[in-house]
Homo-oligomer: A and B are copies of this chain.
């Protein structure tokens, strides 16, 4: 039975978690973000919500750049562990043994294990409640083409995507998942 309430109800998951990276003045960090979205296709624009007190917020606010990284099931522990350490006290890349390259159009690190990554330059930053919404013009893209089929969908023989559920649990989108096909040929 559906009930109405003024108490906050959160239901963001299951959803892909973005690993957000940034670098400024020789310092860099990575954090897990559950609140993120495409905003525009042409030009390509991406948004992510980051709380002001986060170390990554400080790095992005100063560098005006960030990157979005998505990792497969095998590296879901990057998501989990990134969220449990603060970059103010920990070098997460070293401690979690995450390898990376520097971005091509931004200074932010791009994870070697990311199957998709975006390079973004901040075009807007707005404070809404307890987070800032960073809006990034997407200036570079990384994709592991072997993990996608010709029709653009994941190649499920090769890719298993961890979707965060809450409570340190990840639902796997992979070859064992059930799929509902609602395509109707109207021709």
Contact surface of A with B, Cβ cutoff 8 Å: 1-12, 14-16, 34-45, 47, 49, 70, 73, 76-77, 80, 104, 112, 114-118, 123-124, 126, 128-131, 133, 135, 138-146, 151-154, 161-163, 165-174, 176-184
Contacts and interface: CB of A to CB of B under 8 A. Distances in A.
Q: Which 6 A-B pairs have the closest CB atoms?
A: A40-B129, A168-B183, A9-B141, A80-B182, A37-B37, A170-B180
B173 A179 contact: no
Q: Could you say how many copies of this chain the assembly holds?
A: 2
A124 B123 contact: no
A35 B38 contact: yes
A40 B172 contact: no
A45 B163 CA distance: 22
A39 B35 contact: yes
A131 B146 CA distance: 31
A115 B2 contact: yes
A179 B183 contact: no
12 contacts: A2-B115, A3-B142, A8-B41, A8-B42, A40-B128, A124-B126, A133-B135, A152-B167, A163-B163, A168-B181, A168-B184, A172-B178
Contacts of A135: 126, 128, 133
A12 B37 contact: yes
Contacts of A174: 178
A3 B112 CA distance: 11
